[in-house]
Structure formats: C-alpha cells, structure tokens
A and B are shown apart, each in its own frame.
Chain A
Amino acid sequence: MGLLSDPNRRKAITSLTLSVLPDVVCYLAGIAWFMGLAFEPFTLRTYMSENAMGSTMVEERFPSGERALATAREFAAHKKKVGGMPVDWLVKTMRAQGLEVFTQSFSRNLPFPDESKERFVVRGTNVYGILRAPRAPRTEALVLSAPCSPGNSNNQAVGLLLGLAQYFRSQIYWAKDIIFLVNEHDLIGVQAWLEGYHHTNITGMGYTPLQGRAGSIQAALSLELNSDVVTSLDLVLEGLNGQLPNLDLANLFHAFCQKLGILCTIQGKLQRSDWDTVEGYTHSAQTMLLMVLKQASGRPWGEHGLFLRYHIEAASIRGVNSFRQYKTDATSIGRLFEGMVRKLNNLLERLHQSYFFYLMPSLTRFVSIGYYMPAFGLLTTILLLRALDLWVHLGTPTPVTEDGVGEGESPSSPGLLSVLTPVVISHLTGVALYTLPVLSQEMAVEHFPVSETEAVVLTAIAIYTAGLALPHNTHRLISGEGTEQGWRVLKLVALLYLAVLLGCTALINFSLGFILAVTLVPAAACVTPHVPKALSAVAMVLLSPGCTILYCVFLFQELQEVPVSLAEGWMLFLSVISQGILDHALYGSLVYPLLALLVYPCWLLFWNILFWK
C-alpha cells in the first residue's frame, strides 16, 4: 500500500509520466523486444508434451504409394469427365474399400461475387467415409480431409487419402473412428460439413443434414498435394481469427518428418542452423513475421482453419514441389500421415498439454505467450502513461500542494455532450463502414461502371475517407466551442478505450493486436490540437488502420520474396479488403467487424482531437 498511499512516492510516479522520454523508450523497447523474439537464444526449443504421443512408438508400413497415385489419376479422369466433383465415383470407390459412405450437399450465396475464386452462387457436395473403430466404443473420431479443387490441382491428395483409407481399413489397432472427407469448394465445403456435423448454423449456409456421424472429433489433418513427388512438406497452422492448434500437433509433424527424412518447412521456409549470423537471424525473423502477418489477417490459411473453432486441433500439410534434387515419393508421405494418425489415435484426451499461444521463428523453435506479451505490454504502457499524464493535468490545474489537496477551484468540467458527441458520431461512421458496402452494392453498380466486388471495396474506402471529413465538423456545430479541458477529457477517454481494445484484441489474436499497436500507439500518444495541422494530419492518415493494412500487404509480399509494384500492391490491397469482408460473411472472421466497428472509430476520436477547436 505504501506505493499507492505515500504522497511523495505518488508524486515521483506522476512526475515520471510527464516527460516524453519514457514513451519513446517504451516504444523502442517494445519493437526491439518483438524483433528479439526471432533470435534463437531467446526462444525455446519445441518438445513433445503429450505423453500419449511422445514415447509410444509406432511403425509406419504404408506400402501403396504408387497405387494411390494411380487412384489419383483415375480420380482426375473422372473429375474431368464430370466437370466437377465425381461424387458417384468417390462414393463407389470408398464403399468398395469398406467405409460407411455419406454425402452432404450444400449451397451458399455469397454476399457479392468473389473475384479471386470466381464464384458467386456456390453449390456442391461433400463426400465422406467413416472407418469405424474396431477396438473402442465409437465416441471419438479423427478427420483426414482433402479438397477437391477445380482444374488439375490436388488430385494426388485425394488419391493418397483413398490409398490411406484402404490401408487403414485392413489394420486392427484403431481406437477412434477415422473420417475421410473429400470436400468441394474448399473452405465453404468444410464449413458446411462442420456445421452439419455439429448441428449449428452460424453463417447462413444451406446444407442437407449429415446421415452418418462418428464421435467427437479430436483432431483433423488436411492434405494438399499437387504432384506425384514433392521436395518438402509445408505445415500451415494459422486458423480462423488467428487461432492456432496445440503446439504438439506441430511437434508431431516435425518428429515424423525427422524420422522419415522428409524436408519440412513452416511458412515455406526451411530451418537454418546458422542462427548467429545476420542471414540466419534475418531468415528466422522473416519466418516469424510471416506467421505474425498471416495470424493477424484472421483468415483460415488452410482447410484446418475452420476446425479450430470447434475445439478440434487441426493443421494443413501442403506438398511443395520445387527444383531441389531431393524428392520424396507418395509412399513416404503416406507413411508420414499413417504415423501421425496412429499417434493421434493413441491419444487418451484432447491435445491440451502444450502451448496454444505461440509464434514460430522456425519449426523447432517457438516463442510462448509469456515471452511475446511484454512486447505488446510495453506498447500499451505508453497509452497508460499518457492517460495518467492527462489525468494529472485534468485534476490539478495548479501545482499540487499536498497529497490530493490542490489549491484553487476545481476546473469546470467540460460538458458531457462535447465528449459524447464525437464518440457517438465516430461509432456511427463505423457502423456505416460495416453495413453500407455490402448493402449498397447494387446501387453503386447501377450508377458507376464497376463490378459488384469493386463496388463493395470502393464504397468501403469511400466511407472510410468520408469519415475523416465528417466528425470534426459536426461536433463543433452541436457543442459549440471546444475547450482545452474538452479535448483532454476526450483524449483520456480515447486512450483508455484504445488500450482496452488493443489489450482484448492481443489476447485473442496477438499478432493483430501488436500490428495495430505499432501504428496506432504513436498516433494516439502524440496527437494534440496544438501540433502543426497539415503535417500531423498526414502522419495520422499514414498511421491509420487502413494504411496499416496496405503496409502489411507490401510487407507480406516482400517477405514471401515476391515483391510487387505499387499498382499491383494497390490491387492486392483491394482484394484483401474484399476477402476480409467475404471471410466475415462466409466463415465469421472477426477482423473486419473489429476494424470497422471499434478500431476505426477509436482512431477517428484521435483524428477529432487533432482538429479540436
């Protein structure tokens, strides 16, 4: 209690907040801490926590890689003939292997056409076969899924899936039902299947109910394979809203890759052993930043992403065929899956021993929540310091004589209206940004020569820009002259609002919270009505959430080593926005509503302060 009640110490604390120095130090320290996370000595080596998967040995005997590839070719031929998913052939084949086969048809109207995947009204069928566990009551299940993609891709994945099904059928050690799922229209199909399986309907999907079910799904693996041989396998972990599967799943994958001598990557990056060189550090920093950016986007980066919402640990494994000499054949990949499924089969309870909050600078290294949260904490400290500073200013217009007892009259409190008005108007702008783009697409298409998708994106950008002009003009009309106290109170409210908002975001999706904090915190900390208007207005716009997305697009391309020109980057930016809106409508991703309804209005409050008169 001494720290809080002793007036002298309290004075020391508050005087500390009055200078700018701690802010700068906190900001730099936060960034440095974050970048330091990729430095290998600061990270932890991954280890298997789950006993049931750790010490139990399994032997992989999957023999029929070649046969799987033959099945894949047959599948490709049938797919070509039907011009879509060869449902009948799949049902026949799976039934011939002795699985219980069921189909589910689904339909979904997108709110506006998805131009990157060229779809608007989606109709499709999922086919799944259940291998009943011979050795246990059928209360638990595992899922192996492969998408039936248009064109020539992913045939091998389906072939391998069917090959595995045939092999698994003849084994006797299964204690969990295994569901082999071939889904159409990638994520939409998975979404329909999962909603059907769990009897929920959260996204307005139309689907037929599932005829056959297995027990509660413990884990899911999704397979994407485009070629007969691969050079490496890439592990994809980032799921919907930045959710990650238990780290043990990644450990399991890595363990089997080691055992079978398969090259494995994460974010498409191989691990390097030279951590003490600049290149080594840059490499792991790139890997980590890619993970951060992917996680921040809140999109499911593979089919596994939707399983995570249902409390099912899931990962996607993607075969990569590059120009390396060393190739891995389908038999080895089949053995990898066999091993992973067998270990998951041994699980006695859901994967929960290892970490759920982590970043991975490489496949064998991870940073847990306790290590990365301080970076974010340092950034939010700035907001709290500024807020404390404002509080001290507001409370004591004259110097404090003794603990809490100020001389002179207490300052006239600014009207509630002058603070409430900007808050309400900003949020109304946010609501407009959230609802109008999709609602007004028809009108926009009628009046402007644009497609629906462009209409949605451009309306969103237009409302976003219009929001900059709107609020600071209206609040003056309503509440008259703003006072010096007025903006201080508004800024205090906005700072606390931002701190709580970022804090909550960072807990759910650290990457998103951190990226927003990196750009929003300096803007929020520095803004006052007394700085040069034009210059700081430009700075504010450059640090706004919209521009943050733009930077992230460029950074992402740079990190993936496919840099883009400005024009291409802009087009990518537009497609990212439309994808964000679609992800929200289709799968319930929360990034778009978060940005539109909360972060953007919060930023508008600071914009408002800049133009306070």
Chain B
Amino acid sequence: MAAPLTLVLILSVTIRAVLFRSSLAELISERVEVVSPLNAWKRVVEGLALLDLGVSPYSGDVFHETPLVIYLFHFVVDYAEIVFMIVDGITAVALYLAVQNYNKNVFRKQKYALEADRYPHDCLELMRSPKEMHYIPLKVAMFYLLNPFTILSCVAKSTCGLNNAVMALFILSTLKGSALLSAIFLALATYQSIYPLTLFAPGLLFLLQRLYIPVNPCRSRFWFFTVQYSVMFIGSLLVIVCLSFFLLGSWDFIPSVYGFILSVPDLTPNIGLFWYFFAEMFEHFRFFFICVFQINVFFYTIPLSVKLKEHPVFLIFMQIAIISIFKSYPTVGDIALYMAFLPVWSHLYRFLRNIFLVSCVLLACTALFPVLWHLWIYAGSANSNFYYAITLLFNVGQILLVSDYFYAYLRREHHLSQGLYLRRKDGSEATLVLK
C-alpha cells in the first residue's frame, strides 16, 4: 500500500510545484475564498518583516497568526513553498495511517459482533468487506491531496494547511491511543485557532472507549481518566502559551489572535456566515450576536457527544465539519479537511438522501464564487448581496451534506440493531422518515 500512497504524494507535489511556478499562484493567493485575514501569507510576511525590525508583529492590525507559526517561518521563510507541500504531505500520511488504524478496529469489532451473532440476519449486506475497506485509507489521502480546495490553499500558502496538519496529527495520535500526544496536539490545534477545543469531547470519548472505561459519571475510573486527560491538555496548552510569551516577550498575541478570532473585527468577505451579517448590523447589537454566532460553533458538541458517544471517530468528523462551517474566518482549506473523511463513510452511500443535490449545490457555488466576486468587485455591476447569497447557499449545502451523513450513520446503526427490512406491526413494509 505504500507504493500507491507514494505515487499520490509525488503527483500532488508535482501539481503544487507546477502551480507555484505559474502565474496563477499570485492570483490564487489573493482570493478571499482561499485566504482569510488569519492565515494569509501576505500577512505572515508582514509579521516577519516587523519581527526582523524588532517591532512586535502584532503592532498594527495586520498579523494575526500565533507566535509559534511566525517563529517557525522565521527560520524557513525561504523554503515556504516546500514547507507547505511537506505539511500537506504530513496531513495526508497522518490521515492515511489514522484511517487505516480505524478501519482495522472497525473490522475487528464487526468480526466479534458477527461471531457473537449480535446482528439481525438480514443485515449481512450491511457488513463491510475487507476488499472494500482496503482502499479507503488511500482514497482518504487522495481526497485530501488532490482536492482542488487543498491545492488552492497550499498554492496560496495559507497557514490553514498547518492547522490541518496539527488536527490530522491529533486524530492520528488519538486513534493510536496515545493520550499524551493526543492532548499535546489538541492543545496545539486549540492554540492555533481556538475552535478545535470542541474536539476535546470526541478525543476523550475515543480514549475512554479504547481503555474500556464506560462513560458513567458514577465511576471513579471515568473521572480519573477525564481529569488526567484534561490536565494533560490544559498543561500543554499552558506550556505552549507561556512559550509564546517567552518567545515574544509580551502578551500582545492574546488579543491579536484570539480576540481577533472571537470578536470578528475584520469583515472582509469570505465563504463564512459572519461578514455580511456583522457588516449590516447596528453596532449595539453586535456583542450579543457575536456571542450567539460563536456559541453556535461550540454548542453542537453537547448533543452530538451524547448521541454519538459510542462513535467518537464519526463525532470527530462531525465536529471538524461544524467548525469549518461556523467558524469566523473559514477558508476552503478547512473544508478540505473534513471532505477528506468522506471516503471513510462510503458504506453509508446507500442511506444518503440528498447527495446528488448537495454535490450539485457545492459544485455550482464553487464556480459561482469567483464569478460573483468579479461582478461585485471588478465590474461593479453586482453587489455584496449576490456574493452573500452564494455564501449562504454554499453553507446550506455543507450543512445538508453533514446532516445527511449524520442521518445515514444513525440509520445504519439503527438497521444494525433492528434489522434491515423493517416491518410495521401489521406486517407491511415500514419506511423511516425524518420529520
């Protein structure tokens, strides 16, 4: 399996290298869909210049990346293109290994369940075969590396690729069962962009499951492990933040990075939901709605964790998707990360209801973004409403996609416990309807 993965890696690096050398690179790095004020390379370069001059990079209102990133690029700024390609490669390999591991577990579990005769008899066609599962890790790597969104993001040198790599490493270390590494990477991801904090719940649930600790508040082992994991997480987060402080010598970065993410002062259009809404809003409602919008990202963690506590990996997928839809400065790079997981759920295909509609919507919106941007900004004939309409549609498409997968996952689990062909009490065929 290593050979095809290498091939995909080589192919994707070639594509990126070609694009880096072409005149498109400059155009792409200016697109608002690809870079946000948080992760634009232009701003990183500005921050580096300030740092070299001995000024705090956070003075002024240009640079909003974390101190660790700027110190990373302080050393490798001349090789930035290579770094971004390597980072994408790392993400893909991490996802590959993680999914391989996950699939092994899934298959083992399925085997035990089959041996214990736990499934209803007509569910055999829902069983997953090793043949079908064999190529999934490769597909995941391919979906990440060859996804146009990832390529665009990489060519624009958006630091979103770094965040994705950290998240992928978090997923890998969690699925491998290493609590410490998992906590460290989760802390890193949180440090980078706050929102991955919601991945704490699935990470914890997975590790608990792996150690056969039931999620039961009455048990001391549950609390012991939870506290242990939290301490590791908070500890490493503190270490990273303090490290940033010592590197930089000031706390400037806290308001400039986290304040910037949470209070959304920069309303440059992007593919998210914030900019238009807050550009239109009266100032004195702003604080209230900022809270509402931001809580929105974190809120779903609770019901989803309750519902999916047996399936933490699917919960990770859901959380990443929700983050990338509802975060304050989303870019296409964020979307690429959760889309890489779609092949993992390819067995849900038969239960998906709107996949055709959703893919049409996403496809059309992707094409319409640059068109409407052109009409609004360059031709001057359209206005921001046109662009925001497409943004809305794009996000509705994403939400439909995620909820469709959620429904399909739950439905498969339902069939696995209740039998595939449901009967009503009177013996006629029953259908499941989501009202």
Contact = CB atoms under 8 A, between A and B. Distances in A.
Interface stretch (A119-127, A192-200, A205-213, A399-407): A399-407
A405 B420 CA distance: 9
Q: Chain A: interface residue count, which band?
A: 35 or more
Contact of A6 (B356, B371, B433): B433
A424 interface: no
Contacts of B429: 401-402
A403 B353 contact: yes
B427 interface: no
Given A5-B434, A5-B435, A311-B380, A404 B353 contact: yes
A402 B431 contact: yes
A507 B432 contact: no
B382 interface: yes
B372 A384 contact: no
Contacts of A507: 368, 371-372, 375, 382
A350 B381 CA distance: 12
Nearest to B364: A500
A195 B353 CA distance: 53
Contacts of A562: none
Closest 6 CB pairs of A and B: A356-B381, A5-B434, A311-B380, A504-B371, A500-B367, A391-B356
Contacts of B306: none
A525 B50 CA distance: 59
Interface in A1-57: 1-2, 4-8, 10
A145 interface: no
Nearest to A409: B125
Given A402-B431, A496-B363, A500-B363, A243 B368 contact: no
Nearest to A507: B371
20 contacts: A5-B353, A5-B407, A7-B433, A10-B353, A356-B382, A402-B429, A403-B431, A403-B432, A404-B350, A404-B351, A405-B351, A499-B364, A501-B367, A503-B368, A504-B368, A507-B371, A507-B372, A507-B382, A508-B374, A508-B379
A6 B350 CA distance: 16
A243 B378 CA distance: 11
B434 A405 contact: no
Given A403-B431, A504-B367, A496 B360 contact: yes
A384 B382 CA distance: 25
Interface in B343-361: 350-354, 356-357, 360
A508 B372 CA distance: 8
Q: Is the interface of A mostly helix, strand, loop or mixed?
A: helix
A388 interface: yes
Nearest to B429: A402
A184 B352 CA distance: 63
Contacts of B357: 4
A75 interface: no
A501 B371 CA distance: 11
Contacts of A405: 350-351, 420
Contacts of B353: 4-5, 10, 403-404
A244 interface: yes
B435 A1 contact: yes
B435 A2 contact: yes
Given A350-B380, A405-B350, 20 more contacts: A1-B435, A2-B435, A5-B407, A5-B433, A5-B434, A6-B433, A7-B431, A7-B433, A244-B381, A308-B379, A352-B380, A404-B350, A404-B352, A405-B420, A496-B363, A501-B367, A507-B382, A508-B371, A508-B374, A508-B375
A592 interface: no
Interface in A232-253: 243-244
B24 to A, nearest CB: 15
A357 interface: yes
A357 B431 contact: no
A356 B380 contact: yes
Contact of B354 (A4, A496, A504): A4
Contacts of B380: 311, 350, 352, 356
Contacts of B352: 404
Interface in A69-112: none
Contacts of A501: 367
Contacts of A404: 350-353
Nearest to A394: B356
Interface string B366-403: 01100110110011111000000000000000001000
A454 B379 CA distance: 34
Contacts of A7: 431, 433
A499 B433 CA distance: 31
A488 to B, nearest CB: 13
A388 B356 contact: yes
A322 to B, nearest CB: 33
B435 A357 contact: no
Nearest to A506: B371
B360 A384 contact: yes
Contacts of A2: 435
Nearest to B382: A356
B381 A357 contact: yes
B420 to A, nearest CB: 7
Nearest to B356: A391
Interface in A563-578: none
Contacts of B350: 404-406, 410
Interface string A349-360: 010100011000
A309 B377 CA distance: 11
Interface in B122-181: none
Contacts of B378: 309, 311
Contacts of A4: 353-354, 357, 400
B399 to A, nearest CB: 11
Nearest to B370: A504
A312 B95 CA distance: 50
A403 B380 CA distance: 46
Interface string A328-353: 00000000000000000000001010
B124 to A, nearest CB: 13
A4 B403 CA distance: 12
Contacts of A10: 353
A384 B360 CA distance: 9
Contacts of A1: 434-435
A109 B352 CA distance: 58
Contacts of B400: 4
